[in-house]
Structure 1
Amino acid sequence: MISINNLTFEIGARALYDEANWHIKPGDKVGLIGANGTGKSTLLKIIVGEYSPTAGTVSMAKDLKIGYLNQDLLSYHSEKSILHVAMEAFERQNQLHSEIEVLLKKLETDYSDDILNKLSDKQMEFEALDGYSIEFRAHEILAGLGFSEDEQQRPLATFSGGWRMRVMLARILLQTPDILLLDEPTNHLDLPSIKWLENYLQAFEGAIVIVSHDRYFLDRIINKTVESRKGKLTLYAGNYSFYLEEKSLREEIQGNQFKNQQAKIKQEEKLIERFRSKASKAKMVQSRIKALDRMEKVDDIDDDNPEVNFSFKFSKPSGRHVVTLEQISKSYPNLEILDRTDALIEKGDKIALIGANGKGKSTLLRIVADADSEFSGTSTKGHNVSQTFFAQHQLEALHLENSLIQELINFAPKQTETELRSILGCFLFTGDDVFKKIKVLSGGEKSRVALAKALTADANFLVLDEPTNHLDMASVNILIQALQQYEGTFIVVSHDRYFLDNIANKIWYIEDKKVKEYPGTYQEFEEWNAKRTVKSSDKPAKKVKEEQPKPVKVVANDDVQKTLQKKNKELSSLEQKIASQELIVKQLETELAKEEIYSDAVKLQEHTRNYNSEKARFDQIQAEWEALAEEIMELESLS
């Protein structure tokens, strides 16, 4: 289908590809993966002819029909409806439709056989090309990608970039090409649309090449994986999960080969050094030197998945209740988002807020983050809550004249430059990159800087809106590890299911204008929701009441509410005592670790006695807090 032979592509003095080879066969569904900057998007542009290779060839059949989705399509502008734009995919059918209309107009005054024959021929071809169903097909695909009937009649120019990209995707899918080249197709899709696209691509009969950082999406579609790395293209005969296992095995073999070869080289070098000065052994020494020079060296393996080497820090823990939402209502013109809903975020919650676009996720997130005050009801922050809010508009808060490292130093002066450079490194800024001015960065790079900046905040509560946008898989893994280690509370909106499944312990979703909660992981929620959907379809007249999560209740009756307020004040007081006592205990632990203390028996005994006393006091306060917390929970159950 497409044959790439000895492809070399150079940008300046750098070879992005160096004699790379790859053959795409009919029916192949391939995930093209690799770190940012390894040339994945560039390779797609080479295949479609936008870029010319420095050397080598890309060959394919002349009549091969390629559908190519890339981020450049965001610049496409049209005042026509998105239905019309999508139907531009049917070029021949549209041409025939126009010609038929002209012939029908002529037929009003000219009944000649010539006109009738031409009309008959055009109508037969139009029918053969399934022209009468093209509008239905366009409606179907646009609906799958999240467009309502009314929206399909709106001009393309009235939609934001993300929605315009969906229209471009619809147009490409309607072309039914022989091969689809998709560059980050899930970037602007919500979860329902991603699932719809998965089902569509699974049934697609042509070949597919997908560049994506969504590993769940890849696993459900591809049957082959090609890794772009160090100028080469390496094929793995399975999906992304298979690739991870197979690459691990290959690296284990390569690592052993490298160690064995290095041991052999050292042995040979010792032998050469030992006999180098002996004339009688000169021939043997030269022979072994030449053999070493000719030896094909095995490379050591590179660690593409480094473990996280930084952690979130905050100076004080929050109280038990982080955010309390009571009777929240929010609406826009002609659209009601929330209606008198309650919700509660508690200390230690790791919440994933999911759902289709337009259901109010970002609105709810802004209310939680105090970034939206135009609503009715109350949103209350708990005791000692310190918050940081990451969203794409945070890019505007970056100081364009600062270098990357200076931006983080100014924001987090308590952290060392080494720690800050480590954080930037996790988000693909290494070496001299940290000295670049922010004003020269791309939008995606600025987004990564803003996220790195958010992670340095002294915050025990994180509000994160699409934090994985513009991150490659290695950086997503770094963020997952960091959030898994984070001891505070967070709520996150993301469409990356692998990310959500690895960081969340609660799921929030908006249904019937209420915030509803599922107490479990994303995968568990998906299984529960699938069963609920099946039950609903089997018995449409009945609601599944026994499994329906309810909005979190936070309002009790008057008597219980007064008692709760009193107990919560006591709890807050204990939390402050715990924080103070914890500092005392940690200070004493630091003292005990000093050499001048543990090397002096008298001082050691005195400090140990003080430590045990303060530690016992800390344990006592902690026990009082736990007992009071249980009492509060019982009272809340009565409300």
Structure 2
Amino acid sequence: MLIGLQNVTFEFGARVIVEDATWHIQPGDRVGLIGYNGTGKSTLLKVLVGEYTPSKGSVEKGRETTIGYLHQDLLSFDTNDTITEVALGAFERVRQLEKDIERLGQELEKDPENNDLLIQYTDALHELDVLDGYNIHHKAEEVLHGLGFSNEDLSRPYKEFSGGWRMRVLLCKMILQKPDVLLLDEPTNHLDLPSIEWLEKYLIHYQGSVVIVSHDKFFLNRMVNKIVEVYQQQLHIYSGDYTYYETEKALRIEMQQKAFENQQDYIRQQERFIERFKAKASKAAQAQSIQKRLDKIEKIEDVKLERPDLRINFQLDKVPGKVLAELKNATKHFGKIRILEAANAEIERGDKIALIGANGKGKSTVLRMVGGTEPFEGQRIWGHNVEESFYAQHQLEALTLTNTILEELQQCGSKKTDVELRALLGAFLFSGDDVDKRIRVLSGGEKARVALAKTIVSKANFLILDEPTNHLDMHSVELLAEALNKYEGSIILVSHDRYFISKTANKIWEIVDHQIKEFKGTYQEWVEWNERMEKIKASQGDSKSESPKEKAVTQEPKKETVVIKEEKSLPANQAIDKEKQKELQKQKRRLTQLETELNKCKEEKAKLETDLGNPSNYSDPNKFSSLEASYKQTRAKWDELNKEYEEVFEKVMEMEG
């Protein structure tokens, strides 16, 4: 065991966080620490590192165990050193050895015959070699690059960077220290998608144990082999990833519910016997015996899933025109940094757009340009009857700390009565006296819910959302995604949460070469499309570095079919004979058919995978064998269709070229 809790009870004020909890972190553990907002996940990490002392029980830690702890409070650190210098702080012993070697070298120049100095100098060089000290700059730069920093950034002072980027530098330093246990509190909150993917790959090969507090399902599923849930003041441990936890928790609840119901039936049956025969002489002794047995029985508790349910109900006052917003010839620079260059984009009624890409590409800037709060060269054309509401991270900072929650909503110009505002806040889990809490005492998740409530109270038909899931627990993220799916208005959002994007978006925007590239389809389709493009590009080699045609995926209503459409007409002076044109049309029709077959096969494969993952199907060997055979057959068909798709696609590209 590296570190752990033994029969720990911890109270935060009058509130019990955990009671009689035991949890040991072993070598090789990759733990996802989860729980609803306010259950005390971050507090529990502070108990583990000794910032808080439990009222009962003990925190046990191995004598040699080293711990790295990444949390939001680290942002108070400030320095004029470059970010490379800050990251290199991970190698304290190596940096000290470098100074010692330099000093000893200078002393040896003055006194070359001094044997003691020579021994010290040789020992220092040997230790530096053992610690791989000659590679520390390379290691630091490698990790900083992985977390999204450019070569130019490496020599910039730490204090020039914003909070999110500072957190990345501190994460880099912590990774380089290689502690035995790495405690990460919401590490993905300040990372873009490429950096999250890099961190996943890095941590998968990390030698120590990792404990992660996160609301990112994709991240947890790839990272953890154990889930610890803080639920009803207890720690519930599940051996598996987040998907396993969801299935297993539902199963545990179902089994306990059945056991409770069976016991209640048994108790009622026995009580009826006692009531009927207690006065009858021949059965009285038996009735008494049954009563004693019932008094001693260990009662099974009724189980009900307790969770905070956001009840988000969007209301629209006006229906907008077909086009809500349009950017024409939009150009935006920050000094030498180019965001957009004569870019065009259009948002139509019903669009639910996810704007994705690496940090520094200008996603939040584009959101502000769409919302009209960021000046730029070009035109922003606003549609008819459009009423927007903008949710951004800075809104959490813009909340008035001295206001109560109710006062904060009263001042946002919704014209709602106090009764209506209290009802809305109740839907956001602020009931009764909660609405009189001051903003300054709220947790990050509670502030996020207040800011979301302010966004939703407006009855807007166009929502502009910048990282709306930060500080929300996974269940609240799911409920927000469901609400946005039912929302009849239009949305453009920036999020690093792949689960949330996959559940909400029907279009993807990406900033590529200072242009806004639109993909008509879901996030999953976009990922699959990119994978196909990478395969085709790899098979063609570097000779065809640029595709002659832009491709887009169109999602038809109520049917997930992928259609290739030509966005750029052939040059007028290029003659195409009729036979070639006929063959081209034939290949395009086959491409469309293949897309339909692939979608159908994908659904079939997903269903079989779900069935194979169902434990009840393992109890019947014949059923399992049949399922396994069907899955192999469907998988083979999927591979065959994909192969043919790529061949036909290449033909189309060659013929169009």
| Cα separation, 2, equivalents of 1:509 and 1:101 | 50
Alpha-carbon offset, residue 406 of structure 1: 5.1
Q: Which residue of 2 aligns with 1:202?
A: 204
User: Contact 1:428 / 1:475 at 8 angstroms: preserved in 2?
Assistant: no
Query: What does residue range 180-579 of structure 1 map to in structure 2 within 5 Å?
Result: 180-268=182-270, 291-304=293-306, 309-372=311-374, 374-395=375-396, 398=399, 402-405=403-406, 407-408=408-409, 411=412, 420-421=421-422, 423-425=424-426, 427-536=428-537, 539-545=541-547, 548-549=550-551
| Cα separation, 1, equivalents of 2:82 and 2:146 | 17
User: Contact 2:189 / 2:470 at 8 angstroms: preserved in 1?
Assistant: yes
User: Contact 2:340 / 2:514 at 8 angstroms: preserved in 1?
Assistant: yes
Which amino acid letter does the alignment assign opposite residue 58 of structure 1?
V
Which amino acid letter does the alignment assign opposite residue 222 of structure 2?
R
1:22 aligns with 2:30: no
| Cα separation, 2, equivalents of 1:394 and 1:516 | 28
Alpha-carbon offset, residue 532 of structure 1: 2.9
Alpha-carbon offset, residue 214 of structure 1: 0.6
| Cα separation, 2, equivalents of 1:9 and 1:305 | 21
Alpha-carbon offset, residue 81 of structure 1: 0.9
Alpha-carbon offset, residue 310 of structure 1: 4.0
Alpha-carbon offset, residue 276 of structure 1: 7.7
SS in 1 for 2:27: coil
| Cα separation, 2, equivalents of 1:400 and 1:184 | 23
User: Contact 1:304 / 1:474 at 8 angstroms: preserved in 2?
Assistant: no
Which of 112, 127, 130 pairs up with 2:129?
Answer: 127
Alpha-carbon offset, residue 295 of structure 1: 3.2
Which amino acid letter does the alignment assign opposite residue 211 of structure 1?
V
SS in 2 for 1:323: strand
Q: Which residue of 2 aligns with 1:178?
A: 180
List runs of 5+ in structure 2 lacking aligned partners. Answer: 555-567, 569-657
1:116 aligns with 2:118: yes
User: Contact 2:310 / 2:476 at 8 angstroms: preserved in 1?
Assistant: no
**Cα deviation 1:116-139 (Å, max 9, x = unaligned):** 221111001101110000110000
Bigger mean CA offset, 389-398 vs 316-325: 389-398
Bigger mean CA offset, 14-23 vs 427-436: 427-436
User: Contact 1:329 / 1:339 at 8 angstroms: preserved in 2?
Assistant: yes
**Cα deviation 1:12-45 (Å, max 9, x = unaligned):** 3433111111222211111111112222222222
Bigger mean CA offset, 61-70 vs 339-348: 61-70
| Cα separation, 1, equivalents of 2:290 and 2:507 | 64
| Cα separation, 2, equivalents of 1:273 and 1:449 | 55
Alpha-carbon offset, residue 308 of structure 1: 6.2
Alpha-carbon offset, residue 301 of structure 1: 2.7
| Cα separation, 1, equivalents of 2:284 and 2:413 | 63
Which amino acid letter does the alignment assign opposite residue 230 of structure 2?
S
CA change 1:399–1:75 in 2 (3 A) is: closer
List runs of 5+ in structure 1 lacking aligned partners. Answer: 557-639
User: Contact 2:310 / 2:429 at 8 angstroms: preserved in 1?
Assistant: no
SS in 1 for 2:544: coil
User: Contact 1:6 / 1:21 at 8 angstroms: preserved in 2?
Assistant: yes
SS in 2 for 1:108: helix
**Cα deviation 1:275-329 (Å, max 9, x = unaligned):** 7889998877766565445433323333356776442111221111111111111
Alpha-carbon offset, residue 262 of structure 1: 3.0
**Cα deviation 1:473-508 (Å, max 9, x = unaligned):** 111111011001011111011111100000000000
User: Contact 2:354 / 2:507 at 8 angstroms: preserved in 1?
Assistant: yes
Alpha-carbon offset, residue 172 of structure 1: 0.6
| Cα separation, 2, equivalents of 1:303 and 1:412 | 37
CA change 1:200–1:425 in 2 (3 A) is: farther
CA change 1:76–1:291 in 2 (3 A) is: farther
Which amino acid letter does the alignment assign opposite residue 91 of structure 2?
F
SS in 2 for 1:340: strand
**Cα deviation 1:42-67 (Å, max 9, x = unaligned):** 22222222222222222232111222
Give the count of matched residue pairs: 554
Q: Which residue of 1 aligns with 2:57?
A: 56
| Cα separation, 2, equivalents of 1:293 and 1:13 | 34
User: Contact 1:412 / 1:456 at 8 angstroms: preserved in 2?
Assistant: no
Which amino acid letter does the alignment assign opposite residue 304 of structure 2?
D
Alpha-carbon offset, residue 427 of structure 1: 3.9
User: Contact 1:201 / 1:221 at 8 angstroms: preserved in 2?
Assistant: yes
Which amino acid letter does the alignment assign opposite residue 204 of structure 1?
Y
SS in 1 for 2:339: strand
CA change 1:308–1:74 in 2 (3 A) is: closer
User: Contact 1:517 / 1:551 at 8 angstroms: preserved in 2?
Assistant: no
Which amino acid letter does the alignment assign opposite residue 472 of structure 1?
D
| Cα separation, 1, equivalents of 2:424 and 2:34 | 23
Q: Which residue of 2 aligns with 1:562?
A: none
CA change 1:240–1:423 in 2 (3 A) is: farther
Bigger mean CA offset, 158-167 vs 437-446: 437-446
User: Contact 1:308 / 1:482 at 8 angstroms: preserved in 2?
Assistant: no
CA change 1:474–1:415 in 2 (3 A) is: farther
CA change 1:6–1:504 in 2 (3 A) is: same
CA change 1:9–1:307 in 2 (3 A) is: closer
Q: Which residue of 2 aligns with 1:142?
A: 144
| Cα separation, 1, equivalents of 2:277 and 2:49 | 59
**Cα deviation 1:603-627 (Å, max 9, x = unaligned):** xxxxxxxxxxxxxxxxxxxxxxxxx
User: Contact 2:10 / 2:56 at 8 angstroms: preserved in 1?
Assistant: yes
Alpha-carbon offset, residue 463 of structure 1: 0.7
1:8 aligns with 2:12: no
| Cα separation, 1, equivalents of 2:537 and 2:38 | 47
User: Contact 1:27 / 1:206 at 8 angstroms: preserved in 2?
Assistant: yes
User: Contact 2:46 / 2:52 at 8 angstroms: preserved in 1?
Assistant: yes
SS in 1 for 2:252: helix
| Cα separation, 1, equivalents of 2:431 and 2:451 | 16
User: Contact 2:328 / 2:378 at 8 angstroms: preserved in 1?
Assistant: yes
| Cα separation, 2, equivalents of 1:13 and 1:270 | 43
| Cα separation, 1, equivalents of 2:478 and 2:424 | 13
CA change 1:499–1:89 in 2 (3 A) is: same
SS in 2 for 1:500: helix
Which amino acid letter does the alignment assign opposite residue 38 of structure 1?
T
Query: What does residue range 563-602 of structure 1 map to in structure 2 within 5 Å?
Result: none
Which amino acid letter does the alignment assign opposite residue 508 of structure 1?
W
**Cα deviation 1:384-426 (Å, max 9, x = unaligned):** 2111111122346645565434544665867787775565345
SS in 1 for 2:63: coil
Q: What's the TM-score once normalised by structure 1's chain length?
A: 0.81
**Cα deviation 1:581-624 (Å, max 9, x = unaligned):** xxxxxxxxxxxxxxxxxxxxxxxxxxxxxxxxxxxxxxxxxxxx
CA change 1:221–1:439 in 2 (3 A) is: closer
Alpha-carbon offset, residue 437 of structure 1: 3.3
Which amino acid letter does the alignment assign opposite residue 144 of structure 1?
G
Q: Which residue of 2 aligns with 1:95?
A: 96
Which amino acid letter does the alignment assign opposite residue 96 of structure 2?
Q
| Cα separation, 1, equivalents of 2:53 and 2:80 | 34
User: Contact 2:311 / 2:428 at 8 angstroms: preserved in 1?
Assistant: no
SS in 1 for 2:110: coil
